Homo-oligomer: A and B are copies of this chain.
Amino acid sequence: MWQLYQFPLCPFSRKVRLLLGEKGEGYELVRESPWDQRDEFLDMNPAGQTPVLVDKVGGLVLIDSAAICDYLEETIERATMLPGTAAHRAEIRRLAVWFDHKFHDEVVRPLMYERMEKRLVHRLSPDAKALREAMRLANSHLDYVDWLLDHRRWMAGPLFSLADLAAAAHISVADYLGGIDWRGHDRTRHWYAGMKSRPSFRPLLSERMEVVGPPDHYDKVDF
């Protein structure tokens, strides 16, 4: 049985959980708060970040969400999340990276810092200007996603893929933190409603982070 070191709002852990869920692979959660910099966790992953996926029986320790997803894709054939040709996979990977880095750096990271980490670790209030800027950038990103979904069935093309999982993971954390204004983004909203109703996604929506709660619409499939 896999053990996944994570915390409820870690978007990278969410991506891995969605992949494990889609593949029907069992796992148990181990709560890890990377900001605590626990020695045992740093010994396991010197980068100090979640997620880490551990196979206790085989002694395998997998680190970094992209490396974990590639490992799971290579070793579990069912429900591939990198379908199609090499060119299709390049587009899937481009968009997974888009969400893991660009969307994360511009939207998720500042929202998490202002709304969660500041309160949890530093006992400070969020900065309204930083929150407004993250929400403004979230809106631009959703314009881009609207455009993609105007041209494609799923995020990266005709087939459901890792790009959808990465997008849903990061958007769900931004939504939990009140960073998404859904007005005017019907295409993305429709896609996200579909994501929310998948069995792989539903367990994530019921979990809560201490000190910060989600808006009312967060866990509703019809929102």
Q: A18 vs B54: C-alpha distance in the bound complex, in angstroms?
A: 32
Question: Does A185 sit within 8 A of B, measured CB to CB?
Answer: no
On whether the beta carbons of B71 and A90 are closer than 8 Å, the reply is: yes
On whether the beta carbons of B66 and A90 are closer than 8 Å, the reply is: no
Identity of the chain B residue whose Cβ is nearest the Cβ of A47 in the assembled complex: B102
Query: How many copies of this chain does one complex carry?
Result: 2
Question: Does A86 sit within 8 A of B, measured CB to CB?
Answer: yes
On whether the beta carbons of B97 and A71 are closer than 8 Å, the reply is: no
Identity of the chain B residue whose Cβ is nearest the Cβ of A55 in the assembled complex: B87
**Interface members, chain A 44-79 (any B CB < 8 Å):** 46-47, 60, 62-64, 66-68, 70-71, 74-75
Q: Given A47-B102, A102-B47, A144-B46, verify A67-B94 contact (CB < 8 Å).
A: yes
Contact of A66 among B60, B75, B97 (CB under 8 A): B97
Q: A144 vs B45: C-alpha distance in the bound complex, in angstroms?
A: 12
CB-defined contacts of A97 to chain B, threshold 8 Å: 64, 66-67
CB-defined contacts of A63 to chain B, threshold 8 Å: 90, 94
Q: How far is the CB of A203 from chain B (nearest CB, A)?
A: 25
Q: Give the size of the chain A interface in residues (CB under 8 angstroms).
A: 23
Question: Does A93 sit within 8 A of B, measured CB to CB?
Answer: yes
Q: A63 vs B101: C-alpha distance in the bound complex, in angstroms?
A: 13
CB-defined contacts of A62 to chain B, threshold 8 Å: 90, 94
Q: A154 vs B94: C-alpha distance in the bound complex, in angstroms?
A: 28
Q: Interface 1/0s, chain A 7-38, versus B by CB < 8 A?
A: 00000000000000000000000000000000
Question: Does A136 sit within 8 A of B, measured CB to CB?
Answer: no
On whether the beta carbons of B102 and A90 are closer than 8 Å, the reply is: no
CB-defined contacts of A46 to chain B, threshold 8 Å: 144
Q: Given A47-B102, A60-B87, verify A93-B74 contact (CB < 8 Å).
A: no
Q: How far is the CB of A119 from chain B (nearest CB, A)?
A: 24
Contacts A70-B93, A74-B86 known; 19 new A-B pairs at CB < 8 A: A46-B144, A47-B98, A60-B87, A62-B90, A62-B94, A63-B90, A63-B94, A64-B93, A64-B94, A66-B93, A66-B97, A67-B94, A67-B97, A70-B89, A70-B90, A71-B86, A71-B87, A74-B89, A75-B86
